[in-house]
Amino acid sequence: MHQRPTPGEILAIALILLPLIAALPRLRDGYSSEWSQALISLGRISGILGLAMMLVTAALSVRLPLLDACFGGLPRMWRLHRRLGFGAFMLILLHVLLLAFAALPHSLSMAVALLFPPLAEWLTWAGWLALVTLVVFLAPTFQFFGPIHYQNWKRLHLLSVPTLALALLHTLPPLASPWPWWLLATLAALALLWRKGLSPWLARKPYRVTEVSSLAPDVVEITLLPERRPLRHKAGQFVYLSPLDDGLATGRGEEHPYTLSSAPGAPELKLGIKALGDASRALQSVALGSRVLLEGPYGAFFEQAAPGRKRLWLGGGIGITPFVAAARALAADPGKNEEVVLCYLANRPERAYYLEELADIAARHPSLRLVPHYFSERGPLELDFLEQHCPDFRERELLICGPPPMIHHLLRLLAEAGVPRHHIHTEAFDFL
Ligand SMILES: Cc1cc2nc3c(=O)[nH]c(=O)nc-3n(C[C@H](O)[C@H](O)[C@H](O)COP(=O)(O)OP(=O)(O)OC[C@H]3O[C@@H](n4cnc5c(N)ncnc54)[C@H](O)[C@@H]3O)c2cc1C
């Protein structure tokens, strides 16, 4: 069984169906042979659903603290964004194919003329242009030509604006009841306006770097003090950080997501940052006293788990940061009664960041038990290790954070062990 749908996901599906429901009475108008009539109706349905999905996908690109919680957190919301984008692309291809096949029983030249009419029929050509721009920015998203640089991929996404405008132009004129389209187009436009125009000015809060401490080679923890009103966060949430240090080799002003490792309510924020690419490497030597902008907090990692049940946390590598925040929250609340096993998956003991602090919290707090697992000593985590150190793991809520290959390995292992999928909650440090 998969994860239960969130209110946000249900609303997104309802919004996608709205234009189709409004168009249903007109879908069977004006065609002769039964076969081509059915194909034309199906072609129109796939076109309507495809465009509705594209508009909802654009609306889901909005980033608003709290709103993302209705979708189970920003990473899950963006997974929905990505799946709907892919679904929209497939439906729009199907739209073109079905309409062409509908004309084929009459003659091949009729099918070609339907797809490529004279230039004066600009509504059809607007549709073609929308499809071309859609392919240009979706092909890299689905890595048809191999991995793409994140910032270039983000820039390419700006093509979604002309794509949506052309697709709406192609769809709107023949429609009798265009109001659902206006509704979806307004939501999409507001989301894009907020994201690209307003949020850089209104949603980012200034902080100063007050400490940079080394946790291991290529891993630091940065401490930040607010210049104005501080952010309030829960354990497991992350922020978008844009450093403004002029001395940075690269990544100045670029925004990247990092999980807050400080306990909620702590006067200063902390971020554990591993050098995984250019920008995160440059951050290893960010100047003390320099400014950063923070946007967020986002995510609902711990909130996805059913309350009141015992927990098993599985953190791998730098994916330990949400669990560090939660462990620090436990340390700040000695009376808190939770039953947590933290299984820390590290390559080798020297790469187990925060280990001493976590062991210290576990020694003092009765709720937390720490179990390190080292790849260098035992290979990938296997079921016998879990059976030995957390025999009741099947009855717990499982929270997993780490690199995507580790998450896939654990999901397969836990499925084999019969753990229901809705008791497993994951966070990958990767949006692409
Ligand atoms: C929800 C979340 C929480 C994270 N928390 C932490 C953390 O606590 N500590 C930590 O060290 N790292 C964390 N990361 C990973 C961190 O965001 C990337 O390592 C960083 O953005 C890499 O940027 P780069 O330019 O150094 O590397 P690049 O070579 O540009 O990117 C390496 C990979 O990081 C991802 N990435 C790059 N830029 C972004 C971006 N702006 N948004 C989303 N993904 C991006 C891409 O998948 C890319 O393949 C988190 C990522 C996510 C999605």
Domain residue extents for the chain: 7-198, 203-298, 304-428
Q: How far is the CA of 280 from the centre of ligand 1 (A)?
A: 8
For the residues 108-130, what does the mean pLDDT come to?
A: 86
Structure-model confidence comparison of residues 197 and 324, the more confident one: 324
Query: Is the distance from CB of 301 to CB of 236 less than 8 angstroms?
Result: yes
For the residues 208-224, what does the mean pLDDT come to?
A: 97
pLDDT over 50 at 354, yes or no = yes
Q: Pick the atom of ligand 1 nearest to 280's CA.
A: 26
Residue 272 in contact with ligand 1 by CB distance below 6 A: yes
pLDDT score recorded for residue 149: 78
Residue 429 in contact with ligand 1 by CB distance below 6 A: yes
Residue 179 in contact with ligand 1 by CB distance below 6 A: no
pLDDT band at 171 (very low <50, low <70, confident <90, very high): confident
pLDDT digits (tens, 9 = 90+) for 133-144: 998 888 877 777
The pair of three-digit structure tokens given for residue 183, joined into one six-digit string: 């509704």
pLDDT band at 210 (very low <50, low <70, confident <90, very high): very high
For the residues 190-213, what does the mean pLDDT come to?
A: 94
pLDDT score recorded for residue 357: 97
Q: How far is the CA of 299 from the centre of ligand 1 (A)?
A: 15
pLDDT band at 181 (very low <50, low <70, confident <90, very high): very high
Pairing verdict, β 204-216 and 291-298: antiparallel
Structure-model confidence comparison of residues 187 and 109, the more confident one: 187
pLDDT score recorded for residue 33: 57
Class of domain 304-428: alpha beta
> Mean pLDDT of all residues in the chain?
91
Nearby residues of 85 by Cβ (< 8 Å), 6 or more positions away: 53, 54, 57, 138, 141
φ, ψ of residue 369 in degrees (nearest 5): -120, 130
pLDDT band at 52 (very low <50, low <70, confident <90, very high): very high
Atom 17 in ligand 1: residue holding the nearest Cα = 257
pLDDT band at 347 (very low <50, low <70, confident <90, very high): very high
pLDDT score recorded for residue 206: 97
φ, ψ of residue 132 in degrees (nearest 5): -65, -45
For the residues 12-36, what does the mean pLDDT come to?
A: 80
Atom 43 in ligand 1: residue holding the nearest Cα = 431
pLDDT digits (tens, 9 = 90+) for 401-420: 999 999 999 999 999 999 99
Q: Pick the atom of ligand 1 nearest to 282's CA.
A: 26
Q: Pick the atom of ligand 1 nearest to 254's CA.
A: 41
pLDDT band at 359 (very low <50, low <70, confident <90, very high): very high
Looking at the chain, the whole-number percentage of residues with pLDDT higher than 70 is: 96
Nearby residues of 405 by Cβ (< 8 Å), 6 or more positions away: none
Query: Is the distance from CB of 384 to CB of 350 less than 8 angstroms?
Result: no
**DSSP letter string, 94-151:** HHHHHHHHHHTTT-HHHHHHHHS--TT-HHHHHHHHHHHHHHHHHHHHTTTTS---HH
pLDDT over 90 at 382, yes or no = yes
- Equal fold, 203-298 vs 304-428: no
Architecture of the domain whose range is 7-198: Up-down Bundle (1.20)
Nearest Cα to Cα of residue 312 among 423, 190, 178: 423
Instruction: Give the mutation target among 76, 328, 429 for probing the ligand 1 site: most ligand atoms within 8 A of CB.
Output: 429
CATH T-level fold of 203-298: Elongation Factor Tu (Ef-tu); domain 3 (2.40.30)
pLDDT score recorded for residue 28: 60
Q: Pick the atom of ligand 1 nearest to 240's CA.
A: 41
pLDDT over 80 at 3, yes or no = no
Residue 157 in contact with ligand 1 by CB distance below 6 A: no
Residue 282 in contact with ligand 1 by CB distance below 6 A: no
Query: Is the distance from CB of 270 to CB of 299 less than 8 angstroms?
Result: no
Q: How far is the CA of 161 from the centre of ligand 1 (A)?
A: 25
For the residues 287-298, what does the mean pLDDT come to?
A: 96
Residue 358 in contact with ligand 1 by CB distance below 6 A: no
Q: How far is the CA of 323 from the centre of ligand 1 (A)?
A: 18
Residue 86 in contact with ligand 1 by CB distance below 6 A: no
pLDDT score recorded for residue 204: 95
Q: Pick the atom of ligand 1 nearest to 219's CA.
A: 11
Residue 354, SS3 per DSSP = coil
Residue 133 in contact with ligand 1 by CB distance below 6 A: no
pLDDT score recorded for residue 358: 97
Residue type, 4: R
Structure-model confidence comparison of residues 278 and 4, the more confident one: 278
φ, ψ of residue 210 in degrees (nearest 5): -110, -15
Atom 6 in ligand 1: residue holding the nearest Cα = 258
pLDDT score recorded for residue 105: 75
For the residues 20-34, what does the mean pLDDT come to?
A: 71
pLDDT score recorded for residue 1: 44
Q: How far is the CA of 162 from the centre of ligand 1 (A)?
A: 28
Atom 32 in ligand 1: residue holding the nearest Cα = 277
pLDDT over 50 at 248, yes or no = yes
pLDDT score recorded for residue 115: 82
* Cis check: omega of the bond before 297, within 30 degrees of 0: yes
Atom 48 in ligand 1: residue holding the nearest Cα = 150
